[in-house]
Chains A and B, each alone.
Chain A
């Protein structure tokens, strides 16, 4: 187990290093840099002629003139050693201030989505497999295929429309008006929870459908295993039998793809956020790319990928805990 843990930890460290390099490369990719954008913003319409020398001066002031590897080293060491993501140029403050709260909101949304996904997909999938071939099974299968086929931004629009029409509720955003700028309190948290389920459902929609099918297929397989019949032949009551033997293994493929689900949720986040009017990281990521505000974009990308890598690590650990074959042989 210790060897397993050390190996996975080293693997994760290496992945994180490569990921940070890639994020930095992506930050470098767009043509031009913030110095040009800054000069354009500051002087356009003022009649002042901007020379290349002026832009170069801005560049030096912002520290954008150093070679790429030096800038990478500064950037990553600031993050790792001081937790400092650098200057958010277009906000005239530090990146940490700009994204601070939004990181937690995004993580909250992620956790809510994952919880909702697994709380629905696992029990329903297990039930469908145990009642395989029944009306309930076919009904659930049709609904879940619908889930796979329907794009989630469309679902978001439908939910917005009908919620507004039937309940007169405003379901956009993460907070009601009175709490938006209020300090954190229990009431504000409860308000968040009340708003969170809709984006969580929309974001989890396709994952629920997909994982439900996975659980149902694995469970159907596991129910027919000889070890299950052997346990039944020992006189184990049926419900305990189902939970202890096939269900325990049917959860494995779900656990091993937690990382994929996180990935999917983050990819869909910007579109869903735009439709539902959420002010979390996805929205900010798009804006900062448009502004060439690379420290903000880089910080967000890095945070999202770190979350994905860490969640993959967590899923590896969970899987090893669930399945001794991995723990003892892996």
Chain B
């Protein structure tokens, strides 16, 4: 049984210009102990998707009626996340205790008026039932686990007293302090410089195998995905356009967008070759193109087909999926 199973996740926002749907028909499963990489440009709906899993979206957001989010909690019960009331006890137990989240900006994730320890112990008290000294000990232990030097002193410091890398480690410690079984990491390395990035990735990989957690790792960098995830889902304009085991997808990408992202990665082996960025910008979800959402930027788009008809999901190989008119016939032949 899967830890998390998402079916037909569609999210729309009420705005002054009418409803906008940044996420449409997203489905994926995540098994215990595995890492799913969620890749895409800014505005592709990655963050909104993961926030929906914890029901962290603002009041103006609405889930479509056929959305199903199923989570198996520590007691083995299936939680129907999309049906939880905003003030439900079960939702509060899910947040932090079952699913932890790390945001992109470590500085802004901490309140400037409380110490790091104060904010960590809050989660520990809520979910682990520990009080006072015991809660403090656990917070210190978590800070040590993420590799902060002198954790007994750090616990009483404020986020603005730490350096960028230390802050990101502290954020990870905070998200893990109530031992969630699923960790959502929303571009956790984007704000860090490259050497620290590698350290943090290494740390997260180690923690994941130590604690046996599952992870959803959001990034716009396919290179990072190769290092940390087993499965990858490529998102474009609120839909998953390609999904499968990381090795297979990177070796043999089927969607033109995935190929475009791969070509846009700089590499030391190809210094003489020019980079090929994906041309154009991602359209706004309020002006979604008809047909395939990617056809406005696709170099291989077929007029009359791609701009008219929305491509269906094609499943193939071992757990792979693609949504592209061009990939369908080729895959049909090989099958």
Contacts and interface: CB of A to CB of B under 8 A. Distances in A.
B109 to A, nearest CB: 5
A56 B105 CA distance: 76
B143 interface: no
Interface string A289-327: 000000000000000000000000000000000111100
A248 B113 contact: yes
A235 B56 contact: no
B113 A249 contact: yes
Interface string B74-86: 0000000000001
Contacts of A230: 101, 103, 109-110, 119, 174
B221 to A, nearest CB: 21
A227 B127 contact: no
Interface residues of B, number: 31
Contacts of B93: 235
Given A234-B122, A235-B126, A324-B158, A229 B111 contact: no
B29 interface: no
A46 B42 CA distance: 94
Contacts of B174: 230, 234
A234 B96 contact: yes
B94 A325 contact: no
Contact of B161 (A232, A322, A328): A328
Interface string A220-237: 000001111111111111
Contacts of A231: 111, 119, 122
Contacts of B34: none
Contacts of B103: 226, 229-230
B56 A322 contact: no
B210 interface: no
Contacts of A232: 56, 95
Nearest to A230: B109
Contact of B113 (A226, A237, A323): A323
A235 B96 contact: yes
Nearest to B59: A133
Given A229-B56, A325-B160, A234 B108 contact: no
A245 interface: yes
B212 interface: no
A136 to B, nearest CB: 16
B144 to A, nearest CB: 20
Contacts of A234: 95-96, 119, 122-123, 126, 174, 178
A233 B158 contact: no
A238 interface: yes
A225 B95 contact: no
> Quick one: which of A236, A248, A322, A328 has the most chain B CB within 10 A?
A236
A233 B113 contact: no
Interface in B118-132: 119, 122-123, 126-127
B54 interface: yes
A233 B56 contact: yes
A237 B85 CA distance: 13
Contacts of B111: 225, 227-228, 231, 245, 249
B54 A233 contact: yes
Nearest to B123: A234
Contacts of B252: none
Nearest to A245: B111
B238 interface: no
B205 interface: no
B113 A235 contact: no
Interface in A231-280: 231-238, 244-245, 248-249
B92 interface: yes
Contacts of A323: 112-113
Contact of B123 (A226, A235, A238, A249): A235
A312 to B, nearest CB: 22
Interface string B167-206: 0000000100010000000000000000000000000000
Interface in B51-99: 54, 56, 86-87, 92-97
B208 to A, nearest CB: 19
Given A226-B103, A226-B105, A249-B113, A238 B95 contact: no
Nearest to B118: A244
Give the most central of B86, B92, B97: most A CB within 10 Å: B92
A317 B96 CA distance: 35
Contact of B112 (A229, A237, A244, A325): A325
A226 B109 contact: yes
B126 A236 contact: yes
Contact of B92 (A235, A244, A324): A235
Contacts of A244: 114
Contacts of A228: 111
A233 B122 CA distance: 11
Contacts of B127: 235
A238 B87 contact: yes
A248 B160 CA distance: 18
Given A235-B97, A324-B158, A328-B158, A227 B92 contact: no
Interface string A140-180: 00000000000000000000000000000000000000000
22 contacts: A225-B111, A226-B103, A227-B108, A229-B103, A230-B109, A231-B122, A232-B56, A233-B96, A233-B100, A234-B96, A234-B123, A234-B174, A234-B178, A235-B92, A235-B95, A235-B123, A236-B92, A236-B126, A248-B113, A249-B113, A323-B112, A324-B112
Interface of A: 225-238, 244-245, 248-249, 322-325, 328-329
Given A227-B111, A236-B92, A323-B112, 8 more contacts: A225-B108, A226-B108, A231-B111, A231-B119, A234-B123, A236-B126, A249-B111, A329-B160
10 tightest Cβ-Cβ pairs between the two chains A and B: A235-B96, A234-B96, A226-B108, A235-B95, A227-B111, A234-B123, A235-B92, A230-B109, A233-B101, A235-B126
Interface of B: 54, 56, 86-87, 92-97, 100-101, 103, 105, 108-114, 119, 122-123, 126-127, 158, 160-161, 174, 178
